[in-house]
Structure 1
Amino acid sequence: MTANFTFQPLATCSQTKARAGIFYTPHGVVETPRFMPVGTLANVKTITPDQLKQTGAQMVLSNTYHLHLQPGERIVAGGGGLHKFMGWDGPMLTDSGGFQVFSLSEMRKITEEGVTFRSPHDGQIINLTPEKSIEIQNTLGADVIMAFDECPPYPATRSEVEAATARTYRWLERCINFHQRPDQALFGIVQGGVHLDLRAKAAEELKKLDLPGYAIGGVSVGEPPELIAQIVKATAPLLPYNKPRYLMGVGTYREMAIAIAAGVDLFDCVIPTRWARHGTAMVQGERWNLKNAKFRDDFQPLDETCPCYTCQNFSRAYLSHLVRSQEILAYTLLTIHNITELVRFTQKIRQAIINDTFASEFASWLDWSTADQVVM
């Protein structure tokens, strides 16, 4: 059902499990490893699709749960499908809605059939099942769609995680049976919480299904970063070498570098847009709070090596002024820069893998003993 989707590894790192590759989709190629910006409601907040393309982004993520609630998948389909509706002609991925539903906590009820919850928009009772999630995603029309899974919280008991992981597999089988569109690749999701043996078992079971791609889910839900790294290092190498590997919800320099060293190809995270809306820039992996007085009369660009529109045209002082004035332009300019920053980071790693210099060139980002810095 996925003849249009192939993953071609091009180069590997001799000292790690990192690889550079190409993921082919009906809407174009994705050069991996690659950071994917999040466009939750069929838009990446505060910027246009053309501005997004200028950041170097190749693949964008949208959210099944939120689009189902507003405007509804039928509206999106009536607008020509997700690509045309939002004006993005490159590859797209939709998540299953599972994480958002399970984050509702007391507002939802989980059964073997699916999840029942009350819409935060109008109070309507909604039943989201594996079949319904796939139906919504088939209607939206993204290139890659995700299986509906149960994301256990952190912390959780081992028995709770075991139950969620087993249900995730049963739900995946239902997703596969219901999936209808050959122009969409259905990815499975490895759950298992912090238990490496459960992760290994889940990965082995998913491999047998020969899916077009695989994701590592259930991280970034409250665990310390070191534990996330342990999970990823143990899980990623277990997934098929000739299929793309996607780590969900991760997007800092260090997290991505460590995951890439384990063999991960794709990442998504709301960090670049969320930080931008809080007046924060990411500069070579550091967080800069532009409300800091030191930036008020600093007329350098954020990063003189950065080719983005923001760095090529505006100073730190101007950006600080916009942030302090709560001007919308501040969020646009910072989003452009922050996304460019993360995409460039993965592009640089890709080239280093091809040159076989990744382990040495990015050694500082592969070590958790050096904390990420914040300029307050």
Structure 2
Amino acid sequence: MLFELKGKDTKSNARGGEITTDHGTIETPIFMPVGTVASVKGVHQRELKNDINPDIILGNTYHLYLRPQTNILEQAGGLHKFMNWDRNILTDSGGYQVYSLSSNRKIKEEGVKFKSHIDGSYHTFTPENVMEIQRTIGADIIMAFDECTPYPCDYHYAKRSMHMTHRWLDRCINHLEKTPFKYDYSQSFFPIVQGSTYKDLRKQSAEYIANAGAEGNAIGGLSVGEPAEEMYAMTEIVTNILPVDKPRYLMGVGTPINILENIALGVDMFDCVMPTRNARNGMLFTAHGTINIKNLKWADDFSPIDDMGITFVDTDYTKAYLRHLFSVNERLGAQIATIHNLGFYMWLVREARKHILAGDFRTWKDMMVKQMDKRL
């Protein structure tokens, strides 16, 4: 994997770059649509590629391990071939999903024993077998196995967890050195900074992760309920330490405003279920604010869904029609809203990149934050 900086904003730490892998170029900053179980929910790969047009999407190790299971993915030749996606894929390690199973898992130094949310069967994730699983899934970028702490989190627990995450990282690296690629392309490895919302722990973890010398680095354990100001403060501490010449990935973030504010702090990569999950509930993100398409006010609004939108749904359908689809529980409504929201997120990060390279990102970002912080 190669990473090249192409430009930097003059009044913030925002930067534009290019990541190059065997599956193509990723222009940063980038938002990665979440394709948890080998599918971005409700979107055909053709629509994903031709209309939303992301350079990279995200898959989930925990869910893919359980279904369809790694033996199926290996027989298919990896996740790319299984889902017919010839661009980049990143897989998270399953650490966040294990965190979310708090009542059905037990964490020890060896790893995590957890109960499947599907059938109640027991499984164990260790740093070593998670590396094996991600080798078999075959993503271009794979993540270290870590523990994602909750918010709020006791300081002493956060400290113990951080040190265990660091020990797990060393085990991941040692195991990867013994484990060859399964397919005819390479994989890159990102470790994860932890430390909850404690400045000294975040600093210590960022230094440990930076010294690992990986091809890129991730920031985990945020967007788990902490105030946005805490998120930004922790991100700033970490981005000031992580290497400038490596991509930085903030996991699980977030709203359009969160994304712009974290771009300003020097983050390059994002993922979040918000654009797809909120779309299924009738919430549309736009450059001028948020629309709840279920509201009665849209019943006779025959204007396009978003005349600034980049996807076909934005001008092919009206707000009145989309509201009608939601009111009669027609699945097409959720699909239209999903394509719109993902298209908007892609527009947002690509527009951010343009302004970074032009040197006026900070001014544009402040204007966009004011606009988007409205209910239409």
Same fold at TM > 0.5 = yes
- Can you give the 5+ residue segments of structure 2 that lack an aligned partner in the other structure? none
Q: Secondary structure at the match of 1:339?
A: helix
Check conservation: 2:14, 2:265, Cα contact below 8 A: yes
Report the equivalent of 2:191: 188
Distance 2:129 2:61 in 1: 10
Aligned-residue RMSD, C-alpha = 1.4
Check conservation: 1:152, 1:161, Cα contact below 8 A: yes
Report the equivalent of 1:28: 24
Q: Secondary structure at the match of 1:203?
A: helix
Question: Alpha-carbon deviations, 1:310-362, whole Å to 9, x = none?
Answer: 11211111111111111111111111110010110000010000000101111
Shift of 1:285: 6.0
Give the one of 37, 42, 45 matched to 2:38: 42
Change (3 A) 1:29 1:150: same
4+ aligned runs moved over 3 Å, structure 1: 364-367
Report the equivalent of 1:351: 354
Check conservation: 1:149, 1:168, Cα contact below 8 A: yes
Check conservation: 1:73, 1:136, Cα contact below 8 A: yes
Question: Alpha-carbon deviations, 1:163-195, whole Å to 9, x = none?
Answer: 011010000111111112451111000001001
Report the equivalent of 2:129: 132
Change (3 A) 1:210 1:271: same
Give the one of 262, 268, 275 matched to 1:272: 275
Does 1:51 find its partner at 2:47?
Answer: yes
Report the equivalent of 1:326: 329
- Can you give the 5+ residue segments of structure 1 that lack an aligned partner in the other structure? none
Report the equivalent of 1:227: 230
Report the equivalent of 1:18: 14
Aligned runs of 1:55-70 on 2, under 5 Å? 55-70=52-67
Does 1:283 find its partner at 2:286?
Answer: yes
Amino acid at match of 2:144: A
Shift of 1:366: 6.0
Give the one of 210, 214, 224 matched to 2:213: 210
Question: Alpha-carbon deviations, 1:89-110, whole Å to 9, x = none?
Answer: 1000000000101111121110
Shift of 1:371: 8.5
Check conservation: 1:283, 1:302, Cα contact below 8 A: no
Does 1:374 find its partner at 2:375?
Answer: yes
Q: How many residues align?
A: 369
Distance 2:24 2:372 in 1: 37
Distance 2:218 2:149 in 1: 15
Question: Alpha-carbon deviations, 1:208-248, whole Å to 9, x = none?
Answer: 11100100100011101111111112211211111110000
Q: Secondary structure at the match of 1:362?
A: helix
Amino acid at match of 2:132: E
Distance 2:212 2:154 in 1: 28
Shift of 1:74: 1.2
Amino acid at match of 2:134: Q
Aligned runs of 1:62-101 on 2, under 5 Å? 62-101=59-98
Single out whichever of 241-250 and 229-238 deviates more from structure 2.
Answer: 229-238
Q: Secondary structure at the match of 1:101?
A: helix
Distance 1:305 1:154 in 2: 37
Give the one of 307, 311, 315 matched to 2:310: 307
Q: Secondary structure at the match of 1:211?
A: coil
Report the equivalent of 2:174: 177
Q: Secondary structure at the match of 1:299?
A: coil
Give the one of 118, 122, 126 matched to 2:119: 122
Question: Alpha-carbon deviations, 1:132-159, whole Å to 9, x = none?
Answer: 1111110000000000001111111110
Check conservation: 1:258, 1:365, Cα contact below 8 A: no
Shift of 1:365: 4.9
Q: TM-score, normalised by structure 2?
A: 0.95
